């Protein structure tokens, strides 16, 4: 970057943290371009999953999560990111232009930045320990700062959400094209993207357990002694007041804020987007769970069992593949 702005090492360090953001099936559907005085985020539409994500909601949320990770990364490195979202209506893939200003890192940024390398999508069962109300309140406050509502699904709303999760899982199980796409993006061993076998357990058939996606070649074992019947997970729904592209991008930023907060508090977390990928079940969540707001993300939060082994990091593409000078075309990955 130009004189007076972050040097190349700082930019690369911040983008490397952004690249650790969660994304649907670990597709990493983002591209970064560096100008003389600005950094730019682009979506890669070639990485939209046609069967899983027909509306492109998951793609935008994934990119929003990377944008929030970037903000935290620059913040802890001494730079405040001023974000201009969707700056060019004629270029829909251009999601954000970022200007940077000198900044003194705060304790919250330090805490969240430290959580970035430790955050994992943990699809295993949780323990029976309850999540403190204070932790949920902190997540709610940080989601609100990103322009989203966080709702805890309890009692009747949890019942309707669980029904929507089961219904979506069944609909996907009956969809051959979806199953082919899921298999293509999972069961990975050495690829720089996709869901590795080492991070996916077999579907949990314990009575009362929520269904998970049937990823290919699952190799992750459940912790010894963990039982789905004792699973004390909390289901959270992130919603927005509208359902446009900006709302979905901001929901991704809120998703990152909540997940990093949970990690910093020592909690395990797992996004559950499946009920929001089918129109009928999305409407159930909107009408019966989140009170008419537009649902953008479901999160499962809880404590990992005390004997649960640490999860390996999922792979990421090389930085050179996603960070390039402004003016280079956005490469559409296959």
Residue pLDDT, tens place only, 188-226: 888 999 999 999 999 888 877 899 999 999 999 998 866
pLDDT at 333: 64
Instruction: Based on the fold, state whether residues 16 and 59 are members of the same structural domain.
Output: yes
pLDDT average, residue stretch 157-183 = 97
pLDDT at 3: 58
pLDDT at 280: 96
Place of tokens 């404590």: 303
334 inside domain? no
Instruction: Based on the fold, state whether residues 320 and 286 are members of the same structural domain.
Output: no
Domain range spanning residue 49?
8-118+315-325
330 exposed, middle or buried (CB, 10 Å; 0-12, 13-18, 19+)? buried
- Dist CA 168 CA 162 (whole Å): 10
Instruction: Based on the fold, state whether residues 112 and 142 are members of the same structural domain.
Output: no
SS3 state of residue 310: coil
Residues 182/216, Cβ–Cβ less than 8 Å? yes
- At residue 83, what are phi and psi to the nearest 5 degrees? -105, 130
Instruction: Based on the fold, state whether residues 50 and 97 are members of the same structural domain.
Output: yes
Instruction: Based on the fold, state whether residues 81 and 193 are members of the same structural domain.
Output: no
333 inside domain? no
pLDDT average, residue stretch 314-318 = 97
Mean pLDDT for the chain overall: 94
CATH of the domain at 221: 3.40.109.10
Place of tokens 């403190």: 132
Instruction: Based on the fold, state whether residues 200 and 143 are members of the same structural domain.
Output: yes
Instruction: Based on the fold, state whether residues 107 and 160 are members of the same structural domain.
Output: no
278 inside domain? yes
pLDDT at 205: 80
Instruction: Based on the fold, state whether residues 245 and 290 are members of the same structural domain.
Output: yes
Instruction: Based on the fold, state whether residues 156 and 289 are members of the same structural domain.
Output: yes
- Summarised one tens digit per residue, pLDDT across range 262-300 is 999 999 999 999 999 999 999 999 999 998 899 999 999
Buried b (16+ CB within 10 A) or exposed e, 221-241: ebbeebbbeebebbbbbbbbe
307 inside domain? no
Count of the separate structural domains present in the chain: 2
332 inside domain? no
Task: State the pLDDT confidence band at 252, using cuts at 50, 70 and 90.
Answer: very high
Q: Which of 58-67, 72-81, 254-263, 318-327 bottoms out in mean pLDDT, i.e. has the lowest?
A: 318-327
Q: How many CA atoms lie within 13 A of 154 on its CB side?
A: 5
331 inside domain? no
- Summarised one tens digit per residue, pLDDT across range 71-110 is 999 999 999 999 999 999 999 999 999 999 999 999 999 9
Instruction: Based on the fold, state whether residues 93 and 152 are members of the same structural domain.
Output: no
125 inside domain? no
DSSP structure class, residue 201: B
28 inside domain? yes
Instruction: Based on the fold, state whether residues 36 and 158 are members of the same structural domain.
Output: no
- Summarised one tens digit per residue, pLDDT across range 218-239 is 999 998 866 555 566 899 999 9
Instruction: Based on the fold, state whether residues 138 and 245 are members of the same structural domain.
Output: yes
pLDDT at 38: 94
**91 torsion bin: left (phi>0), alpha (psi -120 to 50), beta (else):** beta
pLDDT average, residue stretch 113-130 = 95
């Amino acid at each position: 970057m130009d004189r007076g702005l972050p040097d190349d090492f700082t930019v690369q360090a911040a983008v490397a943290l952004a690249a650790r953001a969660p994304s649907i099936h670990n597709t990493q559907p983002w591209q970064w371009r560096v100008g003389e005085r600005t950094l730019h985020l682009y979506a890669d539409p070639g990485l939209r999953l046609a069967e899983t994500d027909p509306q492109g909601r998951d793609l935008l949320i994934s990119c929003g999560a990377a944008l929030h990770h970037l903000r935290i990364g620059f913040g802890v490195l001494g730079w405040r990111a001023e974000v201009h979202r969707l700056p060019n209506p004629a270029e829909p893939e251009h999601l954000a232009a970022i200007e940077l200003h000198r900044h003194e890192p705060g304790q919250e940024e330090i805490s969240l930045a430290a959580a970035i390398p430790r955050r994992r999508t943990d699809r295993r069962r949780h323990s029976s320990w309850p999540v403190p109300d204070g932790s949920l309140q902190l997540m709610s406050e940080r989601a609100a700062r990103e322009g989203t509502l966080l709702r805890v699904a309890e009692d009747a709303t949890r019942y309707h959400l669980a029904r929507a999760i089961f219904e979506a899982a069944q609909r996907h199980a009956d969809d051959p094209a979806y199953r082919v796409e899921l298999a293509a993006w999972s069961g990975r061993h050495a690829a720089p993207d996709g869901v590795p076998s080492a991070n996916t357990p077999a579907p949990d058939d314990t009575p009362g357990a929520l269904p998970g996606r049937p990823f290919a070649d699952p190799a992750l074992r459940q912790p010894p002694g963990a039982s789905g019947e004792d699973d004390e997970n909390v289901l959270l729904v992130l919603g927005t007041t509208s359902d446009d592209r900006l709302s979905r991008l901001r929901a991704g930023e809120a998703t990152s804020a909540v997940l990093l907060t949970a990690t910093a508090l020592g909690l395990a977390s797992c996004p559950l987007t499946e009920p929001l990928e089918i129109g009928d079940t999305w409407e159930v969540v909107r009408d019966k769970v989140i009170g008419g707001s537009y649902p953008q993300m479901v999160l499962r939060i809880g404590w990992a069992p005390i004997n649960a082994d640490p999860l390996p990091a999922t792979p990421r593409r090389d930085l050179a593949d996603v960070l390039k000078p402004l003016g280079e075309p956005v490469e559409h990955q296959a």
